């Protein structure tokens, strides 16, 4: 391992930072699109095989336990706490110091999550008893949920290490391997569903095994990238390392801060266990929300955090404000039309994707209602990720933790009220409203902390986006009102109508932006032109 001293990263022009963020977000978005498409294939297979049966409910409740811990230990707090500290070490210290920090973090994290996993396996029956009170009247369902929880708990180890590897590579502005690694997760999960599950006495256990194997593949896929950059961590048991201690101090409050959505979803899962099919409807509704959220919202938040962290490390607050405003404008440019499309086309989308095999028309209607309630908060789910990234780049995890705590309490109260009015869908609406509250408080605090973050430009951008959505509304209403969605069969015609309508809606949306001279569209078109220019030069040189 070499010891070159890394010089302080010089200030970069705002246009270069914008180009870097959009390029990284584009790469992550393409990779996430590939993963989400495979994720939809996985969910379609799962829905076809198990529908909204008791086995499916048991799986989704069991999956919520390691999934929540994944968000807490891995993709949420670990990434948010690790990237700013590691970026500071890599920017201001020697490369060897950064490697020592990565290795000490790896060893400490592996020790902790292994202990948590072992305890979780032993305590699974008690955890499930608390997490699914609605299952207590069915001992078989409760026992199956406990078994699935035990099988899937080791997933926490592999996904936590995968998140650490992602944090290192993203800090080095290497986004491809981390972004494409979830593709392997879905490939292995689908393979286990199709080729392992049918051979087991309880087929749903094959799906749980696939989750664990997929997590291992997601971690292993990133190891070559670490090795190539001289950052393949070794065994360094040094929990007293100054950087590890700082990460731990940042991580403790951020366990709640960045994970508020997952915590709210977990609250919904607990309460949904009282409704037959409730956990399944909420899971599939949130999966559809995560499609645009993962491709664009998470992609941009992932790409922007290293840039924000570097700007904060240099004390370049003007650049930081500019980057935050740009991130919010780009988020709303893409997320708001996606929100409109999901709300208006909710029934056709659920019908086409999931209503096969064991998944019935009644399941489609219930899932579409849950999707509607989640979708009204899509803008908040995405915007919160950018705002929270800004706080974490400043190494402030306390503020997001406090606001998240307020949002969790609001979610619990809203859930208890709305579930009496709307059933399981009311739990989805409570999650959306709680996220809106969380985002509103964070924006107010950030404004006081940093001053002007070009809010006027963000509001002007939102106004343009809403205006551009008007033709989308007309097209989507026309598609959703067609009679073929209540008829059986005709999948080719339905697919052509839905995807053709979506393409027409996107064309109309972008056309209005082109007429209005949208800055966000100019950024995207500029990136596309530069990409095409490089491709043309490459082939021309060949």
pLDDT in tens, the chain (542 residues): 334 344 434 444 555 555 555 555 555 556 666 666 777 788 778 888 887 778 888 888 888 777 776 666 555 566 667 777 888 888 788 788 888 888 888 898 899 889 989 999 999 899 888 878 878 888 888 889 999 999 999 998 998 888 888 888 877 777 677 777 778 888 898 999 889 988 888 889 999 999 999 989 989 888 888 888 888 888 888 878 888 888 877 776 656 555 566 677 777 777 888 888 888 888 888 888 887 876 666 666 666 666 776 777 677 677 777 777 788 888 888 889 999 999 999 999 999 888 877 788 888 899 999 999 999 999 988 888 778 877 877 777 778 878 888 888 899 999 999 999 988 899 999 999 998 998 889 888 887 877 666 677 788 888 888 989 999 999 999 999 888 888 888 888 998 999 898 999 989 998 988 888 777 777 666 655 655 555 445 545 55
What does the alpha-carbon distance between residue 324 and residue 329 come to, in Å, rounded to a whole number? Answer: 9
Q: What is the pLDDT of residue 121?
A: 93
Q: What is the pLDDT of residue 301?
A: 65
> Residue 2 in 3-state DSSP?
coil
Q: What is the pLDDT of residue 283?
A: 82
Instruction: Confirm if 297 and 381 have CB atoms less than 8 A apart.
Output: yes
Q: In this structure, what token pair is assigned to residue 127?
A: 């955890």
What does the alpha-carbon distance between residue 4 and residue 469 come to, in Å, rounded to a whole number? Answer: 52
Cβ-Cβ contacts under 8 Å for 341 (sequence gap 6 or more): 472, 476, 502, 505
Cβ-Cβ contacts under 8 Å for 321 (sequence gap 6 or more): 450, 451, 452, 453, 454
What does the alpha-carbon distance between residue 250 and residue 198 come to, in Å, rounded to a whole number? Answer: 45
Cβ-Cβ contacts under 8 Å for 385 (sequence gap 6 or more): 258, 297, 298, 300, 301
* DSSP conformation class of 198: G
Instruction: Confirm if 210 and 191 have CB atoms less than 8 A apart.
Output: yes
What does the alpha-carbon distance between residue 120 and residue 370 come to, in Å, rounded to a whole number? Answer: 30
Q: What is the pLDDT of residue 7?
A: 40
Q: Is the pTM of this model over 0.85?
A: no
Residue labelled with tokens 């499609």 = 291
What does the alpha-carbon distance between residue 487 and residue 387 come to, in Å, rounded to a whole number? Answer: 44
């Amino acid at each position: 391992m070499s010891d070159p001293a890394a010089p302080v990263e010089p200030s970069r022009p705002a246009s270069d930072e914008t180009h870097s963020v959009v390029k990284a977000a584009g790469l992550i978005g393409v990779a996430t699109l590939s993963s989400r498409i495979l994720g939809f294939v996985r969910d379609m297979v799962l829905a076809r095989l198990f529908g909204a049966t008791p086995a499916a409910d048991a799986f989704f409740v069991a999956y919520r336990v390691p999934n929540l811990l994944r968000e807490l230990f891995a993709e949420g707090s670990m990434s948010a706490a690790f990237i700013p500290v590691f970026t500071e070490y890599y920017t201001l210290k020697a490369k060897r110091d950064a490697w020592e920090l990565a290795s000490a973090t790896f060893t400490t994290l592996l020790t902790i999550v292994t202990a948590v996993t072992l305890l979780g396996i032993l305590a699974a029956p008690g955890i499930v008893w608390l997490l699914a009170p609605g299952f207590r009247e069915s001992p078989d369902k409760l026992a199956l949920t406990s078994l699935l929880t035990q099988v899937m708990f080791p997933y926490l180890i592999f996904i936590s290490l995968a998140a650490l590897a992602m944090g290192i590579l993203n800090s080095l502005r290497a986004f491809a391997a981390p972004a494409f690694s979830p593709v392997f997760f879905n490939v292995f999960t689908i393979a286990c569903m199709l080729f392992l599950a049918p051979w087991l006495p309880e087929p749903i256990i094959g799906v749980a095994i696939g989750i664990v194997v997929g997590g291992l593949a997601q971690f292993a896929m990133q190891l070559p990238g670490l090795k190539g950059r001289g950052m393949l961590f070794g065994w360094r048991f040094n929990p007293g390392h100054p950087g590890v201690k700082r990460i731990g101090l940042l991580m403790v409050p951020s366990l709640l801060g960045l994970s508020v959505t997952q915590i709210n979803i977990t609250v919904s899962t607990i309460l949904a266990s009282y409704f037959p099919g409730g956990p399944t409807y909420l899971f599939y509704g949130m999966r559809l929300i995560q499609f645009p959220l993962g491709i664009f919202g998470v992609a941009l938040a992932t790409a922007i955090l290293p840039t924000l962290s570097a700007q904060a490390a240099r004390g370049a607050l003007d650049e930081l404000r500019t980057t935050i405003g740009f991130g919010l404008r780009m988020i709303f440019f893409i997320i708001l039309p996606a929100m409109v499309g999901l709300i208006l086309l909710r029934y056709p989308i659920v019908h086409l994707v999931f209503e096969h095999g064991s998944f019935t028309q009644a399941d489609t209607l219930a899932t579409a209602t849950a999707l509607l309630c989640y979708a009204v908060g899509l803008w908040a789910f995405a915007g919160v990720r950018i705002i929270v990234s800004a706080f974490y780049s400043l190494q402030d995890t306390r503020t997001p933790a406090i606001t998240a705590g307020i949002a969790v309490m609001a979610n619990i109260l809203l859930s208890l009220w709305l579930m009496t009015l709307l059933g399981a869908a009311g739990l989805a609406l409570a999650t959306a409203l709680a996220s809106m509250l969380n985002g509103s408080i964070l924006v107010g605090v950030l404004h006081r902390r940093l001053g002007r973050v070009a809010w006027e430009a963000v509001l002007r951008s939102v106004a343009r986006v809403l205006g551009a959505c008007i033709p989308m509304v007309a097209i989507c209403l026309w598609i959703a009102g067609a009679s073929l969605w209540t008829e059986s069969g005709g999948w080719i015609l339905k697919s052509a109508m839905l995807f053709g309508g979506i393409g027409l809606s996107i064309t109309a949306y972008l056309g209005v932006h082109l007429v209005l001279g949208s800055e966000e569209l100019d950024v995207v078109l500029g990136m596309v032109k530069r990409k095409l220019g490089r491709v043309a030069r490459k082939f021309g040189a060949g």
